[in-house]
């Protein structure tokens, strides 16, 4: 599996980062790095939850950062 973290700056100055391949994985931060770190942690939690509930088998994971 390969997941891309997309990020962009909102009009109010906050940064939004999301992983489009994983529904609901989005996070805000004061900086792009903070938002991306929060999104990465959330993505890993979602994947761990899926594994714990046998929703998916173990697979190699790659997380990349896409510039917006």
Set out the domains of the chain in order of their start, with CATH numbers: 2-66 (3.30.160)
At 9-59, the pLDDT tens digits run 999 999 999 999 998 999 999 999 999 999 999 999 998 898 888 876 666
Residue 6 clears pLDDT 80, i.e. is over it? yes
Q: What is the structure's pLDDT at 65?
A: 62
Residues 6 or more apart whose CB falls under 8 angstroms from that of 35 comprise 7, 14, 15, 16, 17, 27, 28, 29
Total-model pTM:
0.78
């Amino acid at each position: 599996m390969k997941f891309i973290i997309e990020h962009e700056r909102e009009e109010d100055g906050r940064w939004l980062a999301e992983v489009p391949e994983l529904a609901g994985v989005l996070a805000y931060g004061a900086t792009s790095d903070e938002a991306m770190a929060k999104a990465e942690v959330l993505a890993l939690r979602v994947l761990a939850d899926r594994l714990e509930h046998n929703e998916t088998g173990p697979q190699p994971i790659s997380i990349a950062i896409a510039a917006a």
